Amino acid sequence: MASQHTPALPVLGSRKPSHRERVADALRAALIAGELLPGEVYSAPGLAARFGVSATPVREAMLDLAKEGLVDTVPNKGFRVTAVSEKQLDEYTHIRALIEIPTTAGLAATADPVALEALRPVAQEIVTSAAAGDLIAYVEADLRFHLGLLALAGNDHLVDVVRDLRRRSRLYGLTALVEQGRLEASAEEHLEILDALLARDEEAVRAVMTRHLSHVRGLWAAP
């Protein structure tokens, strides 16, 4: 059964997000983690009760997600989560690998060690969330970590492209990994990535990132 933890709403970037944006981020994470299932219709009041917020920001956030194609509006009922095909997920992951692996590996030669160390608490948050079985917090922290790394390359458009691809990903296998006690080991790869970057070991970064992204359609994908 999917985790019912109340999500810790994320903060992305230097600008403090609005409440509506924070709710939208948490809902996206719930979609990615499989907390909200494709084909299911969810009402704003029902989601508001689950997330511990009022219905208005949830309704506004779901309208934002509808514009992104992540949900469809169902008149007088709520919002239906759109299905994503296996082919689409494979394509998203392929594009992500083409962008994220070389970009992150390249940071071994260019990234400021202070900026890299600043991401360690986020990497640790991923591990902590995995150990607690909090899938929404896990996905939120994972997004912040990887987008934070990519931002160090100085290409804002690249970060936006990867953000969109990650939001469209689905990781329905996370619940099973939590139940099997295997997600924490996978989460620790984020610390491996940081350590390899700080060691200026580009090949090690490439190897860990390749293994890490292979989980998207492997360990983290199977229902």
Q: How many CB atoms lie within 10 A of CB 135?
A: 27
Average pLDDT over residues 176-197: 89
pTM here is 0.82
CATH T-level topology, domain 19-81: Arc Repressor Mutant, subunit A (1.10.10)
Average pLDDT over residues 102-113: 98
DSSP annotation of 112 reads -
Tell me the per-residue pLDDT of 144-162, one tens digit each, with 9 for 90 and over: 999 999 999 999 999 999 9
Bridge-partner residues for 80, per DSSP? 41, 72
Tell me the per-residue pLDDT of 124-139, one tens digit each, with 9 for 90 and over: 999 999 999 888 898 9
215-218: which pairs have CB atoms within 8 A and are 24 or more residues apart? 215/186, 216/89, 216/93, 216/96, 216/169, 216/171, 217/89, 217/90, 217/93
* Domain boundaries 86-218, corresponding CATH code: 1.20.120.530
At 115, give phi and psi (nearest 5°): -65, -35
Q: Confidence class of residue 221 from pLDDT cuts 50, 70 and 90?
A: low
Tell me the per-residue pLDDT of 55-87, one tens digit each, with 9 for 90 and over: 999 999 999 999 988 999 999 899 999 988 889
Q: What is the per-residue pLDDT for 171?
A: 79
| pLDDT at 5 exceeding the cut of 60 | no
Q: Which of 142, 144, 138 is nearest to 213 (CA)?
A: 142
Query: Which of 14-18, 106-110, 164-168, 213-217 shows the lowest mean pLDDT across its residues?
Result: 14-18
Q: What is the per-residue pLDDT for 2?
A: 38
Q: Where do you find CATH 1.20.120.530 in the chain?
A: 86-218
